[in-house]
Structure 1
């Protein structure tokens, strides 16, 4: 059974700030060939580094007010296509991310406040029948 994982958790420097958020359990799954790392934001054409983004009323905005919903949606679709090709049934995603957050995401004010909700890719994973959790659930 293959697992899709957020690439930043696998040690890839793809986050908005150019960093990774390595998670040893995820790195081990990738090394064992049990998981495939994806970064929906990069797959959608966003650069690294880039401004931070948050979701407001279903749209994704960068801190400077640029609407990047299209890039997030394209990237999520590309990532779910990879998940399908790999036969993935579950995903381990980066908590609170506007792409990968599961259950809680930032509220769009760029103040660090969290609200209930999923990131764009996490929601698409659920819609496609994948079970989703974050590194905090491991």
Structure 2
């Protein structure tokens, strides 16, 4: 059975920029956990960023905090580590937190730190997809369930 890389915040771990969780309660998640098919991962923490941390958004080709600090290196490192985790565990599917500059699958914040979202992908989601790993957001659980069979 396929394992799934899952954003740690969706699994109840307080790793978000604000030190909180975004726990996803859904039968599919419970089933995957019970079957030991979940590999929990937070690319931002893995990349070396602290908890809590300043919110960051993609601005052109960089990721910048709301105070103007460039954290691109940490985000890039986290994305590469997520890919390595998938490769080591033969993971072909990921369930990532929508709108995150790392994990956003369909939307990200627009880079102005004003709360507006635009169509786009976070750096980890993009790297995984480029390497053949299908990425889903928490808004796409029925589709993920279907492909997992």
Q: TM-score category by the smaller chain? A: over 0.9
- Please state whether the residue corresponding to 2:79 is helix, strand or coil: helix
Deviation, structure 1 residue 27: 4.5
Which residue of structure 1 lines up, in the alignment, with residue 109 of structure 2? 106
**Superposition TM-score, scaled by structure 2 size:** 0.89
Q: Which of residues 52, 55, 75 is equivalent to 2:78?
A: 75
Q: Distance in 2 between matches of 1:76 and 1:33?
A: 23
Q: Distance in 2 between matches of 1:30 and 1:5?
A: 10
Alignment of 1:88 with 2:91, yes or no, is: yes
1:51-104 CA deviation, whole Å, 9 max, x = no partner? Answer: 100001121001100000000000110111011111100110001000000121
Which residue of structure 1 lines up, in the alignment, with residue 126 of structure 2? 123
**Superposition TM-score, scaled by structure 1 size:** 0.96
Q: Distance in 1 between matches of 2:13 and 2:86?
A: 18
Give 5+ residue unaligned stretches, structure 1.
none
Q: Distance in 2 between matches of 1:105 and 1:32?
A: 31
Alignment of 1:64 with 2:70, yes or no, is: no
Q: Distance in 1 between matches of 2:85 and 2:112?
A: 32
Give 5+ residue unaligned stretches, structure 2.
142-149
Give the structure with higher Rg (CA).
2
